[in-house]
């Protein structure tokens, strides 16, 4: 169990949040009142992500050409 004043809690907020996330009891006292810091819920797992962009398979296979004039073509050309 961790007990801290509000001033100490402000200085070490990240550590107190980590402790609460790990299941430890964390209490903060301020103006004679005691507050309990606890994790309310676990985040929901993310589902499969949608790709941001697609790449033409011919690019991945090396089937492209770029010449000195700056012309870019797909295919074996």
Q: What is the rounded distance in angstroms from the CA atom of residue 29 to the CA atom of residue 22? A: 21
The CATH number of whichever domain residue 6 belongs to comes to: 3.40.1620
Query: Phi and psi at residue 41, in whole multiples of 5°?
Result: -155, 155
**52 located within any domain:** no
Query: Which residue, chain included where needed, has tokens 């033409």?
Result: 56
Q: What is the rounded distance in angstroms from the CA atom of residue 66 to the CA atom of residue 72? A: 5
**53 located within any domain:** no
The whole-number pLDDT of residue 76 equals 60
Its domain, for residue 29, covers 2-37
Residues of the chain with pLDDT under 70: 76-77
**56 located within any domain:** no
**24 located within any domain:** yes
């Amino acid at each position: 169990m961790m007990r801290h004043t509000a001033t100490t809690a402000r200085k070490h907020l990240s550590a107190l949040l980590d402790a609460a996330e790990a299941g430890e009891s964390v209490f903060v006292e301020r103006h004679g009142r005691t507050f309990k810091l606890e994790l309310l819920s676990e985040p929901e797992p993310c589902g499969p992500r949608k790709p941001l962009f697609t790449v033409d398979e011919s690019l991945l296979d090396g089937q492209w050409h770029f010449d000195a004039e700056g012309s870019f073509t797909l295919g074996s050309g």
